[in-house]
Structure 1
Amino acid sequence: MTTTRTGGEALVHALLSHGIDTIFGLPGVQNDYFYTAVHDARDRLRVIHTRHEQGAAYMALGYAQASGKTGVFVVVPGPGFLNASAALSTAYATNAPVLCLTGQLHSDHIGRGYGMLHEIPDQLGILRSLTKWARRVDSPADVPRLVSEALGAMHSGRPRPVGLEVPLNVFSRKADFNDETLSVARSRPELDRRAVDSAADLLSEALSPAIFIGGGALDAGEEIGRLAEALQAPVIASASGRGILSNRNPYSHSYGPGRRLWEQADVVIAIGTRLSTPMMRWGKPPNLRIIRIDIDPEEHDRHEPPQVSMLADSREALQALLPALAARKRDRPSRRLEMLALHDEMDAIYDLVQPQMGFVRAIREALPDDGIYVEDITQVGYVSRETMPVYRPRTYLTSNYQVTLGWSFPAALGAKVAAPDRPVLCVTGDGGFLFAATEMATAVQHGINTVTVVFNDSAYGNVLRMQKQNYGGRVVASELHNPDFVTFAESFGARGLRVHSPAELRQALVSAFAANAPVLIEVPVGEMPAPWEKMSAPTARSKRD
Structure 2
Amino acid sequence: MAVQTKRRVTGGVALVKALEAQGVRYVFGIPGVHTLEIYDALYDSDALSTVLPRHEQGAGFMADGYHRASGLPGVALTVTGPGVTNIATPLAQAFADSSRVLLIATNLERRYLGKLEGNLHEMTDQTAVVRPLVKWSYRVESADDILPAVTEAFKHLYTGRPRPVYVEIPLDVLEEETTFEPLDLVKPQPVPPAPHLVSRAAELLRQANRVFILAGGGAATEETAPLLRELAEELGAPVCTSLTGKGAIPEDHPYATGAFGYRWSPDNPIAFLMAASDLTIAIGTGLGIRTTAQGTMPLPTPLIHIDIDPDEIGKRYPAAVGIAADAALTLRALIEQVRAGARPADRWPVEEVQAVRRRILEPVDERTERYLPYLRALREALPRDGIIVNDMTMMCYEGVRYLPVYEPRTYLFPRGFGTLGSSLPTAIGAKLARPDRAVVSLNGDGGFQFTMEELGALAHYRLPVTVVIFNDSTHTAVKVAMRRSHPGRYLDVDLVNPDFVKIAEAYRIPAQRAGSPDQLTELLNHAVHGDGPMLIDVPIALERY
* Range class of TM-score, shorter chain: over 0.9
1:413-467 CA-to-partner distances (Å, cap 9, x unmatched) read 1111111222100111011101110110111111222101101111111111222
Q: Map 1:374-393 to 2 at 5 A.
A: 374-393=389-408
1:517 Cα deviation from its structure 2 partner: 2.0
> CA–CA distance in 1 between the matches of 2:394 and 2:178?
54
Residue range with higher mean Cα deviation, 155-164 or 317-326: 317-326
Report the residue type matching 2:115 in the other structure.
R
Q: 2:485 aligns with which of 459, 470, 477?
A: 470
1:93 to 96, 103, 125: 96
Amino acid aligned to 2:315: R
Is residue 497 from structure 1 mapped to residue 512 from structure 2 by the alignment? yes
Q: Quote how far apart the aligned CAs of 1:319 are.
A: 1.1
Report if aligned partners of 2:23, 2:185 keep a CA contact under 8 Å in 1. no
Query: Contact between 2:143 and 2:178, CA under 8 Å: does it hold in 1?
Result: yes
Q: Root-mean-square deviation (CA), in Å?
A: 1.9
Distance 1:389 1:90, change over 3 A: same
List per-residue Cα deviations over 1:184-214 (Å, max 9, x = no partner): 2755545221111111111222223111111
Query: Could you say what secondary structure the match of 2:16 adopts?
Result: helix
1:210 alignment partner, one of 212, 234, 247: 212
- How big is each residue's C-alpha offset from its partner over 1:216-262, in whole Å with a ceiling of 9 and x where there is no partner? 12231121111111221111111111111111202112114444433
Work out whether 1:445 is the aligned partner of 2:449. no
Contact 1:268 1:289 in 2 (8 A): yes
Q: Does the 8 Å CA contact 2:225/2:248 hold for their aligned counterparts?
A: yes
**AA paired with 1:295?**
I
* Aligned ranges 1:30-179 → 2 under 5 Å: 30-41=34-45, 43-178=46-181
Aligned to 1:261: 273
Query: 1:116: Cα distance to partner?
Result: 1.2
The one-letter code sitting in structure 2 at the alignment partner of 1:336 is V
d(CA) in 2 for partners of 1:157, 1:55: 27
Q: Distance in 2 between matches of 1:329 and 1:64?
A: 36
In structure 1, what is the equivalent of residue 323 of structure 2?
310
215-224 or 391-400: which moved more? Answer: 215-224
Given that residues 30 and 167 in structure 1 are in contact (C-alpha distance below 8 angstroms), is that contact kept between their aligned partners in structure 2?
A: no
Aligned AA for 2:215? I
Tell me if the contact between 2:360 and 2:401 (Cα under 8 Å) persists in the aligned partners. Answer: no
Match of 2:240 among 226, 236, 240: 236
Worse-matched range after superposition: 59-68 or 459-468: 459-468
In structure 1, the partner of 2:266 is none
| Aligned partner of 1:251 among 230, 252, 255 | 255
Amino acid across the alignment from 2:249: L
- SS at the partner of 2:197? helix
Query: What SS does structure 2 have at the residue aligned with 1:4?
Result: strand
Aligned twin of 1:362: 377
Q: What secondary structure is seen at the aligned counterpart in 2 of 1:239?
A: coil
The alpha-carbon distance between structure 1 residues 501 and 159, as it changes in their structure 2 partners (threshold 3 A), is: same
Gaps of 5+ in 1: 531-545
CA, structure 1 residues 4+367, in 2 after alignment: closer, same or farther (shift >3 Å)? same
Q: Displacement of 1:183 after TM fit?
A: 4.5
Instruction: Identify which of 272, 286, 290 aligns with 2:284.
Output: 272
Change (3 A) 1:261 1:529: farther
Gap runs ≥5 in structure 2: 262-268
Equivalent residue number for residue 405 of structure 1 = 420
- Cα distance in 1, alignment partners of residues 528 and 12 from structure 2: 39
Distance in 2 separating the partners of 1:2 and 1:150: 22
1:199 alignment counterpart: 201
Q: Conserved in 2, the CA contact under 8 Å of 1:245 and 1:391?
A: yes
What number of residue pairs does the alignment pair up?
Answer: 528
Deviation at 1:342, TM superposition (A): 1.9
Deviation of residue 44 (structure 1)?
Answer: 2.1
State the SS of the aligned residue for 1:427.
Answer: strand
Partner of 2:511, secondary structure, is strand
Q: Closer, same or farther in 2 for the Cα pair 1:326/1:413, shift >3 Å?
A: same
Q: Could you tell me which residue of structure 2 aligns to residue 539 of structure 1?
A: none
Tell which deviates more after alignment, 161-170 or 297-306.
Answer: 297-306
1:332 aligns with one of 346, 362, 373: 346
2:415 pairs with 1:436: no
**2:102 partner letter:** L
Shift of 1:515: 2.4
For 1:104 and 1:329, locate their aligned partners in 2 and report how far apart those are by CA, in whole Å.
57
CA distance in 1, matches of 2:544, 2:157: 41
Partner SS, residue 100 of structure 1: strand
Which of 4, 12, 19 does residue 8 from structure 1 map onto?
A: 12
2:22 equivalent in structure 1 = 18
The 10-residue stretch of structure 1 (519-528 or 286-295) with the greater mean CA deviation from structure 2: 286-295
Which of 476, 482, 491 is matched with 2:497 structurally?
482
Residue 29 of structure 1, CA deviation: 1.3
| C-alpha distance in 2 between matches for 1:22 and 1:2 | 24
The offset of 1:481, in angstroms, is: 1.0
Match for residue 394 of structure 1 among 395, 399, 409: 409
1:514-529 equivalent positions in 2, closer than 5 A: 514-528=529-543
Question: In structure 2, what is the Cα distance between the partners aligned to 1:33 and 1:198?
Answer: 56
3-state SS of paired residue (2:416): helix
Match of 1:321 in 2: 334
Cα gap change, 1:259/1:278 in structure 2, threshold over 3 Å: closer, same or farther?
farther
- Distance in 2 of aligned mates of 1:24 and 1:503: 37
1:423 maps onto 2:438 in alignment: yes
2:307 matched to which residue of 1?
Answer: 294
Post-superposition Cα deviations, 1:82-126, rounded to whole Å, max 9, x if no partner, equal: 111110111111211111011111111111111211112221122
Instruction: Flag the 1:278–1:261 CA change in 2: closer, same or farther, 3 A.
Output: farther
3-state DSSP of counterpart to 1:176: strand
Deviation string for 1:369-418 (max 9, x for gaps)?
A: 11100011111100111211111000000112211110011100111111
Deviation at 1:168, TM superposition (A): 0.7
* Percent of aligned pairs with the same amino acid: 38
Q: For 2:224 and 2:300, how far apart are their aligned partners in 1?
A: 28
Q: Which AA in structure 1 matches 2:273?
A: L
